Amino acid sequence: MSALKDAIGRAVDGLADELESLSHRIHANPELGYQEVKAAGWLSDFLAAKGFKVEKGLAGVETAYRATIETGEGPTIAILCEYDALPGLGHACGHNVIATSGAGAGAALAAVRGQLPKGRIQVIGTPAEEGGGGKMKLIEGGVFTDVDCAMMIHGLDRTILHADLLGIVRVNFDFTGKAAHASADPWQGVNALDAVIQTFNAISALRQQVRPDVRIHGIITNGGQAPNIIPEAASATFYVRAATLDYMWEVYKKVVACAEGAARATGAQLQTVQVPTVYEPLKRNETLLGAFKVNLERLGDTPEPPDPSRLGSSDIGNVSQVIPAIQPYIKIAEAGTPIHSRAFAEAAVKPLARRGLVTAAKTMAMTTADLLADPALVRRAKDEFAASK
């Protein structure tokens, strides 16, 4: 295995310029969820050129793909890629690095396929992580049914093996009032914006009464048309997150009650629309994390402990509820750089991002090789997964 891993490392090094160029191209052409036509095309074409059999439009999702190489009867290991951007900020979550490191890991394994143990490697393109639930659609489409284990990485300002992810539910509140002249006849109106503002105030008061892991945050999506018109329509979108789904739904009901109380207080009508893409918490798998850690340290990287106060959500959590799956974090930005910021978007194409991309590709490829070589390791990961249900 040592010789094989050395060969994998050399293969990634040989691909590094091409991978960085692809990462920069995706970064320069940000596409929102389910609109990632360019990124999905570039990635799947790259993998096809490296010898993968590529299926596009996977599970009926236009911008999803699956690239496969087989070396014989054995485990099926999936490496996942994300490539959607954020509205207004572009690749401020570093998905360009996630995508190209996953593709790079696959390409490196294809380059040494003659030395690989028997099994199947799949590089799966999963669109719309930023709220669209692309992995959920692929789960529903049966894409992970025959996959034994899955992995991906995420960029961050430090390297860590595992960070807990919160469950998340999204909700839209649409208030309807009655328009009137805001100066001449304000008493004739019903102010829908007042209902939105009261919802925010009520939720702000609620935050004192929830557990520390809960996150509730929202934006006003419609606040009216002009200051001299009492707003007859106003809307807000909120995200509710918690460490367990049961508590998430408990808090969600309280958030909805805040909006209902605001509607009653202002006389506005309320329509509540829960967004169906509910992300689940990330189930930890020590077996897979241990294998990843050995390879990461082989490359000279030592993971740091996670910061328990930094809590996010992702649909990789949903994957981890159906098969063993991990999402370690690789340093691609200077310490202290917050994700979903313009500074992180800028960092995602700097030299540190290239280093993280290369490290991630090598580590995932080596870990995949370990899983192919040792079916008992795969069984331990699956046994751990089954025991944690």
Which tens digit of pLDDT belongs to each residue from 213-222? 999 999 999 9
- How many whole angstroms separate alpha carbon 93 and alpha carbon 190? 40
pLDDT digits (tens, 9 = 90+) for 293-322: 999 999 999 999 999 999 999 999 999 999
Rounded mean pLDDT, 353-371 = 98
pTM summary value: 0.95
Instruction: Give me the pLDDT at residue 249, please.
Output: 98
As a whole number of angstroms, the distance between CA 299 and CA 97 comes to 18
Above 90 in pLDDT, residue 364? yes
Task: Give residue-wise pLDDT tens across range 199-209.
Answer: 999 999 999 99
Q: How confident is the model at residue 389 (pLDDT cuts 50, 70, 90)?
A: confident
Q: What proportion of the chain, given as a percentage, has pLDDT over 90?
A: 98
Topology classification of domain 2-164+282-387: Aminopeptidase (3.40.630)
| Residues above pLDDT 70, as percent of the chain | 100
Instruction: Using the predicted structure, report yes or no on whether residue 375 has a pLDDT greater than 90.
Output: yes
> Please, which pLDDT band fits residue 74 given cuts at 50, 70 and 90?
very high
Q: Which two tokens stand for residue 387?
A: 């025991």
Query: Residue 315 has what pLDDT?
Result: 97
The 8-class DSSP code of residue 64 comes to: -
Mean pLDDT, the chain, as a whole number? 97
Judged on CB neighbours under 10 Å (0-12, 13-18, 19+), 176 is: middle
**What does the pLDDT read at residue 335?**
96
Dihedral over alpha carbons 73, 74, 75, 76 (to 10 degrees): -30
Does position 1 have pLDDT exceeding 90, yes or no?
Answer: no
Nearest to 4 by CA among 282, 366, 320: 366
- Strands annotated E in the chain: 53-56, 65-70, 76-81, 120-125, 149-151, 154-156, 167-176, 215-222, 233-242, 269-279, 325-326, 329-331
With contact defined as beta carbons under 8 Å apart, do 170 and 276 qualify? Answer: no
For position 33, what pLDDT does the model report?
Answer: 97
What is the per-residue pLDDT across 252-288, written as a single tens digit (0 to 9) for each?
A: 999 999 999 999 999 999 999 999 999 999 999 999 9
pLDDT digits (tens, 9 = 90+) for 159-197: 999 999 999 999 999 999 999 999 999 999 999 999 999
Query: Cβ(202)–Cβ(178) under 8 Å?
Result: no
Q: Can you give the pLDDT at residue 120?
A: 98
Q: What are phi and psi of 361, to 5 degrees?
A: -60, -45
The average pLDDT across 363-378 equals 98
Average the pLDDT over 24-32 and give the result.
98
Give dist(CA 323, CA 382) in Å, integer: 7
* Structure tokens, 27: 């970064």
For the chain, the structural domain boundaries read 2-164+282-387, 167-279
Q: Answer whether CATH 3.30.70.360 is correct for domain 167-279.
A: yes
